[in-house]
């Protein structure tokens, strides 16, 4: 039997996944129609959280050297709606770039943000199969560090994100799987996850358009540019490979967002086939 070639195409298809690239291209390219409303620096081995209003652009930039950042998103008004890395991986790709969207968890399931600019979009796939802006892996955390290295370390991305969101009333239970911005990853011949040296240069940036009011948190990974293995024997502290990340939030001229509206959730009733039981 000849296999159906459609079975090796993208499994998820449909009009809901189509993006108006002309609209987002204008937002990404017409930077003269922006106004800077906030700027901050995420120092090495730290995390920060901030708000991005709907219809604004958030830019994450390398400052003085390559640096990986672990990104979390929540709906500012209801943090039960948050970034869903696994579904984004299915609906978009394992590694994201311009015009890909970051999707939220059930029962919301709608775009939280759309990537509008990526100076590393041309990196593609390298000789070892590495690609950038990873959703395959998740944040480093102190529990794995204790388990694999028997070392207690409080500045993994998970802990950085926890400290960042505490002032906003969130806790460790709200921190979730991340988008690894600027991180180069792939699967080796044994189908095992690998992390390579970050190729970003000072001034490279990654931008997304907020499709709803967002709370955003970012950790500057303690592995820095990941040019040294983080786990296993014989490792040295890679602090010399760590660099800060810059964050800028921009308001847009009205003509850039003309006709745009916040995405809505699917019109599923949420009944799940259940019937109310009548009690006598």
Q: Where are the domains of the chain?
A: 35-230+238-254
Rounded Cα distance between 123 and 90, Å, is 21
Percent of the chain topping pLDDT 70: 98
Asked if residue 280 has pLDDT above 60, the reply is: no
Distance CA 28, CA 245 (A): 20
What average pLDDT does the chain have? 95
Residue 123 pLDDT exceeds 80: yes
**Has residue 57 got a pLDDT over 90?**
yes
139: left (phi over 0), alpha (psi -120 to 50) or beta: beta
DSSP-based helix, strand, coil % in the chain, nearest 5: 20, 30, 50
Q: What is the pTM of this model?
A: 0.95
pLDDT in tens, 202-238: 999 999 999 999 999 999 999 999 999 888 777 788 9
């Amino acid at each position: 039997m000849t296999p159906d070639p459609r079975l090796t195409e993208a499994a998820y298809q449909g009009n809901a996944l189509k993006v108006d690239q002309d609209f987002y291209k204008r937002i990404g390219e017409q930077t003269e129609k922006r106004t800077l409303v906030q700027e901050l620096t995420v120092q090495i081995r730290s995390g920060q959280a901030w708000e991005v209003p709907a219809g604004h652009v958030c830019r994450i930039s390398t400052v003085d050297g390559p640096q990986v950042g672990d990104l979390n998103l929540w709906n500012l008004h209801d943090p039960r709606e948050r970034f869903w890395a696994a579904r984004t991986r299915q609906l978009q790709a394992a590694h994201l770039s311009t015009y890909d969207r970051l999707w939220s968890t059930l029962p919301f399931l709608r775009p939280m943000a759309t990537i509008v600019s990526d100076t590393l979009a041309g990196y593609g796939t390298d000789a070892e199969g590495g690609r950038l802006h990873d959703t395959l892996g998740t944040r480093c955390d102190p529990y794995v560090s204790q388990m694999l290295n028997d070392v207690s370390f409080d500045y993994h991305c998970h802990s950085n994100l926890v400290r960042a969101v505490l002032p906003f009333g969130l806790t460790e239970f709200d921190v979730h799987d991340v988008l690894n911005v600027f991180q180069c990853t792939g699967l080796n011949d044994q189908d095992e996850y690998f992390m390579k040296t970050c190729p970003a240069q000072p001034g490279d940036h990654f931008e997304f358009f907020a499709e709803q009011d967002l709370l955003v948190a970012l950790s500057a990974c303690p592995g820095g540019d990941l040019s040294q293995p983080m786990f296993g024997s014989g490792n040295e502290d890679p602090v010399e490979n760590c660099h800060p990340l810059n964050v800028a939030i921009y308001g847009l001229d009205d003509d850039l967002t003309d006709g745009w509206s916040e995405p809505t959730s699917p019109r599923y009733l949420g009944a799940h086939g259940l019937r109310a039981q009548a009690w006598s």
